[in-house]
Amino acid sequence: MSDRAQKKEKRDARIARITEGMTSIGLYLLFVSGIINILALTGAFYMMQIYDRALLSGSIPTLALISVLALGLYAVQGVMDIIRSQILHRVGARFDKKIAPDVHQMSIEMPRYGFSLGESLERGRMVDTLRNFISGPALVALLDLPWMPIFLVFVFFLHPYLGALTVGGAVVLTLLTIATEIMTRRANRDVSRAASYRSSVAEANARNSDVIRAMGFTRAATQLFSRANDQHLDLQASSSDVTRTMGAISKVLRMMLQSAVLGLGAYLTILGDMTAGSIIAASVASARALAPIDQAIGNWKNIVMAKNAYGTIRETIAAMPDEPEHVNLPTPTQSFSADAITVVAPATGKVILADITIKLQAGQALGLIGPSGGGKSSLMRALGGVWPVLRGNVRLDNADLTQWNQDAISGIFGYLPQDYTLFDTTIARNIARLADPDDEKVIAAAKAAGVHDMIVAMPDGYQTQLGTNGHNLSGGQRQRIALACALYGDPFVVLLDEPNSNLDADGERAVSDAIKSVRERGGIVIVIAHRPSALEQVDMVGIIQDGALVKYGPKSEIMKVAPTPVKRTQPAAGEAAAAAQERAVS
């Protein structure tokens, strides 16, 4: 079997998982719906028996017997309805439980390929939409639709003219449903896009709330959201207007049809072709026959949203990268390299880095310097496997990075990006990368990051709940806890992207000590630095400029100065020293 055929087979298998086991459940629900719809004829039969039997005979026992029987049938119908609703609720929850983790995994992966955060999170909301549809009234209407013939046959049995009138009404309502779909199809797609954009704007405003408040552009940020919100509301109103108009027309037609059935039934009764009880029965049955169509039109927006959500989920699951089979390679202990790698921006496809080659041995540390926008952080993402490389290879002990699975990578890499968001859990779990904390490893990582004393000074110590993004900590404290996370478990390769950007002198000393500690235990460190203090413990330096590695080699040769740290007296002096040093290099 060719690779393409194997990939297609795996993709089809992933898609099939979405509805796995649903066929038998769907058939059972259809069967239960059939029983409910048959029992829904109880009212029609009851009216016929009351008017044509009990009233004509004047028999109280007959009336009592008919009423008791009707009550029993209504009770059974109610029980079956409860069973169906509970099954639908559980099916929705089961679907969510099975699909949501895969969709969330793709939501995590999508930013790597250039999707916005709002687009990524929208995938998770699609699961909620489909779950709510499964357990809501729209699906109940669709389950009742196949049983319309029961009521139509019953009305035909009462009189063919009444049956023909009811079928005509059903055809008209069906045409209204089709018209609703055609008229709202494009609008609903636009609504979905507008909702995604609105979410992106709202998220950006929330993430930058401090900046917005401090710099006084709350009104501008609110106006940006308002424009996105107005566009969404306008499109939604346009779509809803069509749906509600069609729903109102459907409702009026149903009432007109019910009156027409009564009028025609009365006419046929006058002619002696029907009984009085049959008039009421025909009216009840015809209304019940058309109710699923009316409900479908009324819930058409939810049906369309569920349809779009299902399509999006299918695309998401189908797009999941195949997890290759891995051989359990030994933990790397010797080298880490990038062999002529080319990196492109996932969102635009623009080449950011070209032909970057780096080779490091165990115990070495590389400092990356260069002007902002040169590609240093992009290189870090590529070295950590965050961004896929277009050409070339990233290797651990001469084996390509793709040969290790995620579980193995977890013990090999430590990564501290510029913007690290702490998780809403305990400090211990944050350091342990959300796993069950190994107390010894957690404490060792905290000490290596110079944050142990700060943590134990807190009332709850390592069990302190951080809240959303560690809002109760300073920027420096958050960064040092993030550094501890990167050092957890003594990873072989530690990638640090400006690890001292929010740190004071003690924090910078902790970073230098951490780099030294990693080197002493035979690990490898790559650090992006804008301050000389971060280069104190590195032995190799690379200069990244305009997407190229313009210089690379031992620090003593590249920097052309003695490898002594620059004493940082105050932020301005440190920054000036860094600028002067970079000017000397260039």
Sequence letter at residue 344? V
Overall average pLDDT of the 402-419 stretch: 81
Q: Are 273 and 87 in contact (CB under 8 A)?
A: no
Spatial CB neighbours of 13, under 8 Å, sequence gap ≥ 6? none
13 vs 4, 94, 161, CA distance in Å? 14, 19, 51
What is the C-alpha to C-alpha distance for residues 173 and 153, in angstroms, rounded to an integer? 18
Q: Are 534 and 499 in contact (CB under 8 A)?
A: yes
User: Has this prediction a pTM greater than 0.75?
Assistant: no
**53-63 burial by CB neighbour count: b if 16+ within 10 A, else e?**
ebeeeeeeebb
- Quote the tokens at residue 422: 């702490």
pLDDT at 585 over 50: no
* pLDDT tens track for 12-37: 666 777 777 788 888 999 999 999 99
pLDDT at 158 over 70: yes
Q: Supply the pLDDT for residue 33.
A: 92
% of the chain exceeding 70 in pLDDT: 87
pLDDT at 563 over 60: no
Q: Are 425 and 464 in contact (CB under 8 A)?
A: no
Residue with more model confidence, 526 or 235:
526
pLDDT at 214 over 80: no
pLDDT at 288 over 80: yes
Q: Which of 5-19, 26-40, 289-303 has the highest mean pLDDT?
A: 26-40
Overall average pLDDT of the 553-557 stretch: 86
Residue 450 falls in which region: left (phi positive, over 0), alpha (psi -120 to 50) or beta: left
pLDDT at 258 over 60: yes
Overall average pLDDT of the 204-233 stretch: 77
SS (H, E, C) 516-581: HHHHHCCCEEEEECCCHHHHCCCCEEEEEECCEEEEEEEHHHHHCCCCCCCCCCCHHHHHHHHHHH
Specify whether domain 335-585 bears CATH 3.40.1180.10: no
Q: Supply the pLDDT for residue 365.
A: 92
pLDDT at 352 over 90: no
pLDDT at 428 over 70: yes
- Detail the DSSP E strand segments found in 307-456: 335-344, 351-361, 365-369, 391-396, 399-400, 413-416
- Quote the tokens at residue 451: 């944050």
* pLDDT tens track for 360-383: 999 999 999 888 888 888 888 888
pLDDT at 271 over 50: yes
Q: Are 344 and 352 in contact (CB under 8 A)?
A: yes
Q: Residue 216: is it exposed, middle or buried by C-beta count within 10 angstroms (0-12/13-18/19+)?
A: exposed
Question: Distance between terminal CA atoms of the chain?
Answer: 55
Q: Are 122 and 199 in contact (CB under 8 A)?
A: yes
Reported as a pLDDT band with limits 50, 70 and 90, residue 578 is very low
pLDDT at 536 over 50: yes
Please report, for the chain, the start and end positions of each structural domain, with discontinuous segments joined by +.
3-318, 335-585
One-character DSSP codes across 278-336:
HHHHHHHHHHHHHHHHHHHHHTHHHHHHHHHHHHHHHHHHHTSPP------PPPP-SEE
Residue with more model confidence, 492 or 251:
492
Reported as a pLDDT band with limits 50, 70 and 90, residue 567 is very low
pLDDT at 571 over 70: no
What is the C-alpha to C-alpha distance for residues 138 and 145, in angstroms, rounded to an integer? 11
Q: Supply the pLDDT for residue 366.
A: 92
* pLDDT tens track for 449-466: 888 988 998 888 889 888
One-character DSSP codes across 88-133:
HHHHHHHHHHHHHHHHHHHHHHGGGGT--HHHHHHHHHHHHHHHHH
Say how far residue 470 (Cα) sits from the centre of its chain.
23
What is the C-alpha to C-alpha distance for residues 580 and 582, in angstroms, rounded to an integer? 5
Quickly name the fold that domain 3-318 has: ABC transporter transmembrane region fold (1.20.1560)
What is the C-alpha to C-alpha distance for residues 528 and 494, in angstroms, rounded to an integer? 11
The whole-chain average pLDDT of the chain stands at 81
Reported as a pLDDT band with limits 50, 70 and 90, residue 472 is confident
Q: Which residue is it, tokens 């079928």?
A: 167
What is the C-alpha to C-alpha distance for residues 36 and 47, in angstroms, rounded to an integer? 18
Beta bridge partners of 543: 369, 551
Q: Supply the pLDDT for residue 320.
A: 67
pLDDT at 468 over 60: yes
